[in-house]
Chains A and B, each alone.
Chain A
Amino acid sequence: MNDFTPYSALAGGMLIGLSAASLLFLIGRVAGISGILATVLTEKPNTSSWQIYFLMGLVISPLLTNLASILPPDVRLNQPLPIIVISGLLVGYGSRLGSGCTSGHAVCGLARLSKRSIAATVTFMLVAFITVFVANNGMGI
């Protein structure tokens, strides 16, 4: 199941870094997905809000890889539906309370060596490691 794919991971990561750099270069904004999404969901954005266009680009990107016949990765999630709902709620609420998610803290924040982002990244990585350990060894989820 776990095939190691360092080259595609590195290439994809570089594209993510390039995207964040382009957003900073173009409009001076941080590419934190949870913050961008929360602005669109909760702050009555209008048609001139840049956040809407960034999210549109994100959502249409799979259509482009399909056109280019790049095979989509396996994106199936095999968890029970209640677990999916609970994890969605936690990710949504937790990313707001903690002012960021994987992109905002673990990429943009770490790149500028923000102490808050280092603390947040270490925290959510540790908790996620423990969660997967417990799920695989203790609960049979």
Chain B
Amino acid sequence: MLKNLAVLGSGVLFGLGLIISQMVNPKKVIGFLDITGNWDPSLAFVMLGALVILGVTQHFILKKPKPLLAAQFHQSTKKDIDTRLIVGASLFGLGWGLAGYCPGPALVSIAYGQLEAGLFCLAMFAGMWFFSWLHASK
């Protein structure tokens, strides 16, 4: 219970960060991606803020033998840059550039009651289900 509440708190922090930084505003995202037009570099500062805080704190966190409320740290062990990674990232970039939504902001936007955000999320869920169906059937 304590663990679940603590994780809920982490989720709230993430959402607040997305709202305050305006990552939840698709126009802001498109403005950042529009490097040859009327470029708005704000979102580079979102990445900078996140990377500095996480980079510094995880240096200390990962020195601990284990996390506070779990048995071990889980980090990806994959090392290879393969076709799947690059094709997947390309498709993701295409979708991100078309609408200005990535998964976190899209989920947060549901609470604002926008039809478009709900529709985007349903399509995103479908894309994830399709991936898991495709790879389970092989």
A residues sitting closer than 8 Å to B (CB atoms) are 1-6, 8-31, 33-34, 37-38, 41-42, 48, 50, 53-65, 70, 72-79, 81, 83-99, 101-103, 105-112, 114-116, 119-121, 123-133, 135-137, 141
Could you tell me the distance between the alpha carbons of A58 and B4 in the complex, rounded to whole angstroms?
13
> What is the chain B residue whose CB lies nearest that of A123?
B89
Contacts of A98 in B (CB 8 A): 84-92
Contacts of B103 in A (CB 8 A): 33-34, 37, 91-92, 95, 101-103
Contacts of A13 in B (CB 8 A): 17, 21, 45-51, 53
Residue of A17, A60, A96, A136 near B12 (CB, 8 A) is A60
Assuming the contacts A57-B8, A96-B131, A111-B54, asked whether A12 and B18 have C-beta atoms less than 8 A apart, the reply is yes
Number of interface residues of B (CB under 8 A): 115
Contacts of A41 in B (CB 8 A): 125, 128-129, 132
A102→B97 contact, CB < 8 A: no
A129→B76 contact, CB < 8 A: no
Could you tell me the distance between the alpha carbons of A76 and B99 in the complex, rounded to whole angstroms?
11
Residue of A37, A74, A93 near B27 (CB, 8 A) is A74
Assuming the contacts A95-B103, A119-B85, asked whether A88 and B111 have C-beta atoms less than 8 A apart, the reply is no
B18→A87 contact, CB < 8 A: no
Could you tell me the distance between the alpha carbons of A11 and B48 in the complex, rounded to whole angstroms?
10
> What is the chain A residue whose CB lies nearest that of B109?
A75
Closest CB of chain B to A106's CB: distance in Å? 6
B101→A87 contact, CB < 8 A: yes
Closest CB of chain B to A40's CB: distance in Å? 10
Tell me the residues in window 16-60 of chain B with beta carbons closer than 8 Å to chain A beta carbons: 16-28, 30-31, 33-55, 57-58
B7→A27 contact, CB < 8 A: yes
Contacts of B27 in A (CB 8 A): 1, 74, 76, 78
Contacts of B66 in A (CB 8 A): 28
B119→A14 contact, CB < 8 A: no
Could you tell me the distance between the alpha carbons of A75 and B18 in the complex, rounded to whole angstroms?
12
Could you tell me the distance between the alpha carbons of A92 and B88 in the complex, rounded to whole angstroms?
10
A61→B19 contact, CB < 8 A: yes
Residue of B18, B42, B70, B127 near A96 (CB, 8 A) is B127
Contacts of A26 in B (CB 8 A): 3, 6-7, 10, 67-70
